[in-house]
Chains A and B, each alone.
Chain A
Amino acid sequence: MTKENPAAAAEPEEPKEPPAEKPSASGEKEAPSPAKAEKKPDENLEDLPLMKAIRAFSGEGVEEVSSFTGKEDELTVVVRRDQIHPLCLHLKDQHNFNFLADLCGVHYPDRDRPFEVVYHLYGLERRERLRLKVRLGEAEAAPTVSDIWRTANWLEREAYDMVGIDFEGHPDLRRILLPDDWEGHPLRKEYPVRGDGFGLQWVERHIPPAARPIAHRE
């Protein structure tokens, strides 16, 4: 990977494939997208059989294709919100992505669509990996994939708890790590690292003064 990357970075003349850029260019400002800013998508990413299959299925629904290493092991595909559920179902049924390794939310407050849900898919038989992403606006909900992989149940609850992303159709969407009546979502960028009232209110509501940590006593 170390050898591969300077090589990939050393060919800046490669053309961006136009269909990938169209929807995202119209949809949002591209500046804060970390995966893209340094490197243009490798044209050989489009030649991967998996990428061709995704294109064939989702077509215009694919917003962006990139890979940090320039190879398929970090292949990242951003798709439109309405495409994520059908695409996941298709990838699981037709391409053996039977294992959802991870699902998490990321907050990019500077973007037009500030939330991102990141799916890490894995195929146990063919040992293939794929990262899918879907970008969401302030009030938009992501469709749940917990009906495709049951793993997603808790992972989506965690993304809801930590980043405050709503998942449409989730059977049991409630906080998982924090108490039910907690305010705010800690992994949002505006959430303070230290208290400033957020945790203190909860402590005052629930814990009698004598049992509070010293720092929270009067």
Chain B
Amino acid sequence: MTQVTPETIVPQVEELILNMGPQHPSTHGVLRVILRLKGEIVQGVDVDIGYLHRGVEKIGENITYAQFVPYTDRTDYVASPANNLGYVEAVEKLALMQVPARAQYIRVITAELTRIASHLLWLATHALDIGAMTVFLYCFRDREKVLDLFEIAFGARLTVHAFRVGGIYHDPPKLFYDKCTEFAREFPKAIYDYEDLLTENRIWQSRTRGVAVLSAEDAIDLGASGPILRASGVAHDVRRAEPYAAYEDFDFTIPVGKNGDVYDRYLVRVEEMRQSAFIIEQAAADLPSGKTMAKVPRVLKPKRGEVYHRIESPKGELGYYLVSDGTDRAYRLRIRPPSFVNLQSISTMMQGGLVADAVAAIGSIDIVLGEVDR
């Protein structure tokens, strides 16, 4: 006779493999996530990426340094000036180039506008995923204003190609700076609209609090950066740790979360938007005069060597590792994409969580598949 133990009484629960994506509205592009479930509990996660792989690094090794700038627009396409910035600064570092102060300030203004635009798009779609429709409309209303500013300054809205190696090609018209100041003053009021809708909202809190928690140790070990790392309580921001462009001239605080859950990531990003508006206001107020473009040789041939340059993109640490062999093309062009590395932490986040929270977890990382797959 068989012994009766709890194991024999509890019916055997079979594992279920659930495929999510690549065509799924909440994966924000073409991300495929394979969930291993036991009942409602996520036992394991495998992530399938590469659907948008275009071989950007290979392309970069076969065209000149200046020609590659528009390609960087297409990696993280919702925050293209940030990608331009990381790349052109890496090339400038390699070519030992000094960029005029005015260009540095314009870069800071544009990079912070980008951060606002990227975070707004994130907040809009993330809230929509979780079920808050109104926030989506508010965020797109304000993101439109940022895109209008890009249009005034650089003539394009999404893939802006804002910066050139050596500075800014055209000094934006005065209207741009006036509108930036106006936007920076008005925008914090709009943030109250989003916070009114979400921060104290009980449904929002119960969908996000304690969901997809990532501890500080795990976040560091997994190489997470940007808002993910800060929401876990690590006050690391490349703008502060290794100031680039003109960031050492500005006053801003680094918001830090406590619990490392989806809710804290939301709070950190909302506060970052406020800080970005504050930086824009400061930069537009004391903009240096002068040229916006350094003297750049027609054929740029940096000397042999290698540099790694990183910036704080809206998604996290964006790094460019360039190896020059003395010709006009990079010998090796490596993009360290923040989304790719942050996405790796998803299996740790979702382990033991509910399948219903998968959407919230994926959304909270703020991935752009163009950057993950390159």
Interface residues of A, Cβ cutoff 8 Å to B: 1-2, 5-6, 34-35, 37-39, 68-69, 74, 76, 98-102, 104, 106, 118, 120, 124, 127, 129, 131, 149-151, 153-155, 158, 162, 175-179, 186-187, 191, 193
For chain B, residues 302 to 359, give those with C-beta under 8 angstroms from any C-beta of chain A. Answer: 303-308, 310, 317, 319, 321, 323-326, 331-332, 334, 336, 340-341, 344
Tell me if A176 and B304 are in contact (CB < 8 A).
no
Tell me if A193 and B62 are in contact (CB < 8 A).
yes
Tell me if B221 and A150 are in contact (CB < 8 A).
yes
A9 CB to closest chain B CB (Å) equals 9
Apart from A35-B306, A191-B58, list 15 A-B contacts with CB within 8 A: A34-B325, A38-B305, A100-B223, A101-B317, A101-B336, A104-B332, A104-B336, A120-B308, A120-B321, A131-B306, A154-B340, A176-B49, A176-B50, A177-B50, A187-B57
> In the complex where A34-B323, A120-B321, A186-B58 touch, is A102 in contact with B308 (Cβ < 8 A)?
yes
B191 on the A face (CB < 8 A) = no
> What residues of B have a CB within 8 angstroms of the CB of A38 in the complex?
303-305
A-contact bits for B92-103, CB 8 A (1 contact / 0 none)? 011011100000
Look across to chain B and name the residue whose beta carbon is closest to the beta carbon of A177.
B50
CA distance A69 to B307 in the complex (A): 9
B296 on the A face (CB < 8 A) = no
A-B contact count (CB 8 A): 111
Number of interface residues of B (CB under 8 A): 45
> Which of A2, A35, A178 sits near B97, CB closer than 8 Å?
A2
> What residues of A have a CB within 8 angstroms of the CB of B331 in the complex?
34, 106
CA distance A150 to B336 in the complex (A): 16
CA distance A150 to B94 in the complex (A): 30
> Which of B98, B223, B234, B306 sits near A34, CB closer than 8 Å?
B306
Tell me if A68 and B57 are in contact (CB < 8 A).
no
For chain B, residues 190 to 244, give those with C-beta under 8 angstroms from any C-beta of chain A. Answer: 220-223, 234, 236, 241-242
A142 CB to closest chain B CB (Å) equals 16
The B interface is mostly helix, strand or loop, or mixed, namely mixed
CA distance A84 to B334 in the complex (A): 21
Tell me if B332 and A106 are in contact (CB < 8 A).
yes
Tell me if B323 and A37 are in contact (CB < 8 A).
no
B272 on the A face (CB < 8 A) = no
Tell me if B344 and A68 are in contact (CB < 8 A).
no
B59 on the A face (CB < 8 A) = yes
Look across to chain B and name the residue whose beta carbon is closest to the beta carbon of A1.
B93
CA distance A161 to B374 in the complex (A): 13
B55 on the A face (CB < 8 A) = yes
Tell me if B321 and A5 are in contact (CB < 8 A).
no
> What residues of A have a CB within 8 angstroms of the CB of B55 in the complex?
186
Tell me if A106 and B241 are in contact (CB < 8 A).
no
A167 CB to closest chain B CB (Å) equals 16
Tell me if A155 and B308 are in contact (CB < 8 A).
no
B53 on the A face (CB < 8 A) = yes
> Which of B96, B222, B304, B310 sits near A150, CB closer than 8 Å?
B222
> In the complex where A102-B336, A176-B49, A187-B58 touch, is A151 in contact with B305 (Cβ < 8 A)?
no
CA distance A130 to B307 in the complex (A): 11
6 closest Cβ contacts across the A-B interface? A151-B223, A177-B50, A68-B305, A102-B336, A34-B304, A104-B334
Tell me if B96 and A120 are in contact (CB < 8 A).
no
> What residues of B have a CB within 8 angstroms of the CB of A98 in the complex?
220-221
> In the complex where A187-B58, A193-B59 touch, is A34 in contact with B305 (Cβ < 8 A)?
yes
Look across to chain B and name the residue whose beta carbon is closest to the beta carbon of A74.
B307
B73 on the A face (CB < 8 A) = no
CA distance A31 to B53 in the complex (A): 34
CA distance A2 to B295 in the complex (A): 14
Residue of B98, B234, B308 with most chain A CB atoms under a 10 A cut-off: B308
> What residues of A have a CB within 8 angstroms of the CB of B304 in the complex?
34-35, 37-38
Look across to chain A and name the residue whose beta carbon is closest to the beta carbon of B57.
A187
